[in-house]
Amino acid sequence: MKRISVGLGSLARWTAAILVAAAVAGSLAAPDVTLAQQPRTDIQVMPVRGNVFMIVGGGSNITVSTGVDGMLLVDAGSAAMASKTLEKVLELGRMGTTPAPMTTCVGPSCYPAGSLGPFLPFGWAGPSYNAVIASPKPGKPIRWIIQTSADPDHTGGTPALAAAGTTYNGGEAGRLVGERTPATIIGHENVLKRMTMAKFPELAWPSETYYIPTYKMSQYINGEGIQMYNTPAAITDADTIVYFRFSDVISAGDLFTPGRYPGIDVEQGGTVQGLLDGLNKIIDLAFPEYRHQGGTMIVGGHGRIGDTADVAIYRNMVEIVRDRIRDMKKKGLAIQQVKAQKPTLDFDGIYGSPDTFIDAVYQTLR
Ligand SMILES: [Zn+2]
């Protein structure tokens, strides 16, 4: 498998260079940490590329494609944030639907006010017609929600968001009497299995499942192919990564969480080797723009957006920790002894508390 090596050595050198530069600069003002200290309770939208956006603050990160075909979401955030998330999603859906400008001109020879030209070919209009074209168009409907896992942080908002959306069926007879089918919810079949076993609300269950290694949306959506890959036994046994092939964005779900250790869920079928395979799959799909930077954008399940280098650095961390714990386990160390040796110490400053991660690696490495 092709791998992109991002040397930690070079990272350390850069860090050292920055520290030296800071020391040379001398009396730097104390950094303003007030922003970092305030917990964010609001929801933000970040344009990723083309018609793909990232919604942050709704529990998990949510990826949204919006355009001529409606909206496709990857994940729906938590139940607690559902109404705020929905508000933001609908706001995105109204984007680009600016009402047509009003004109009082009637007939073919309509010139812009105060000018003698140019000729506007579509100037036939009367006040009532103008009122129609000037009224705001309805927003794009939420039509598809892809679930990257069954985790309530990612799927809790599904019932509310799907109910606000729609699936267009053949015939549409029900529509005539005001019936509406919620948005189509797509996930790996193990998402359905996990959700039924855990008795999740039925409205959060996927209405369309797949069981093969890769699954495509059946046609272009908003100008591009959207492809799903199941990454077996990674964080759980139900993970999907979603690849927007033209926008070149990968929605990775919890396989990639920069800023926190991977939440491998052993009870739900997650393994450290499956996670590494999944991360390598993402790196295989992704193209850096230049020296591992830029290029394919990767939206993780939580935290900031990343690129190929970010995923490679994260993958390296998982692999290094896995190797260390494997060596210790081979020597016969019990889990408590492994933890006492602090196999993640040099990464804890970036990724936080390693306890459950060490447990999961120890239990599942082979
Ligand atoms: Zn998550």
The model's pLDDT over 74-83, given as tens digits with 9 standing for 90+, comes to 999 999 999 9
pLDDT category at 50 given cuts 50, 70, 90 is confident
Q: What is the pLDDT of residue 178?
A: 66
DSSP state of 306: B
How far does residue 60's CA lie from ligand 1's centre (Å)? Answer: 6
Asked if the model's pLDDT at residue 331 lies above 80, the reply is yes
Residue 70, pLDDT > 70, answer yes
Q: Cα angle vertex 186, ends 42, 158, to 5°?
A: 35
Least confident of 65-79, 123-137, 260-274: 123-137
Rounded to whole angstroms, the Cα distance separating 347 from 2 reads: 25
CA distance 199 to 186: 18
| Mean pLDDT to the nearest integer, 35-58 | 80
Position with higher pLDDT, 109 vs 156: 156
Give the integer Cα–Cα distance in Å for 5 and 288: 12
Q: Given 3-state DSSP classes, what are the helix, strand and coil percentages for the chain, each rounded to the nearest 5?
A: 35, 20, 45
What is the Å distance from ligand 1's center to 325 Cα?
24
Spatial distance between the Cα atoms of 11 and 139, rounded to a whole number of angstroms: 45
Angle at 253 between CA 247 and CA 257, to 5 degrees: 105
What Rg, from alpha-carbon coordinates, does the chain have?
Answer: 25
Beta bridge partners of 49: 52
Pairing of strands 184-188, 142-146: parallel
Separation of CA 114 from chain center = 49
**Which is more confidently placed, 302 or 41?**
302
| Short-list 251, 217, 310, 260, CA closest to 53 | 251
Q: Which of 366, 342, 364 is nearest to 353 (CA)?
A: 342
**How many angstroms separate the alpha carbon of residue 215 from the centre of ligand 1?**
22
| Ligand 1 centroid – CA 339 distance (Å) | 24
Asked which of 39-43, 194-198, 249-253, 303-307 is least confident by mean pLDDT, the reply is 39-43
Strand, helix or coil for residue 287: coil
Could you tell me the pLDDT band of residue 2, with boundaries at 50, 70 and 90?
very low
357 pLDDT more than 50: yes
Q: How many Cα atoms are found within 13 Å in the side-chain-facing hemisphere of 193?
A: 11
Asked if residue 32 has pLDDT above 90, the reply is no
Most confident by average pLDDT, 45-49, 125-129, 356-360: 356-360
Alpha carbon of 17 to ligand 1 centroid (Å): 34
Report CA(224)–ligand 1 centroid distance (Å).
26
Most confident of 2-16, 128-142, 155-169: 155-169
CA–CA distance, 79 with 155 (Å, rounded to integer): 8
CA of 52 to the centre of ligand 1 (A): 20
| CA pair distance 299, 252, nearest whole angstrom | 6
pLDDT at 104 over 70: no
Q: Which of 76-90, 99-113, 226-240, 310-324 has the weakest average pLDDT?
A: 99-113
- Mean pLDDT of all residues in the chain? 84
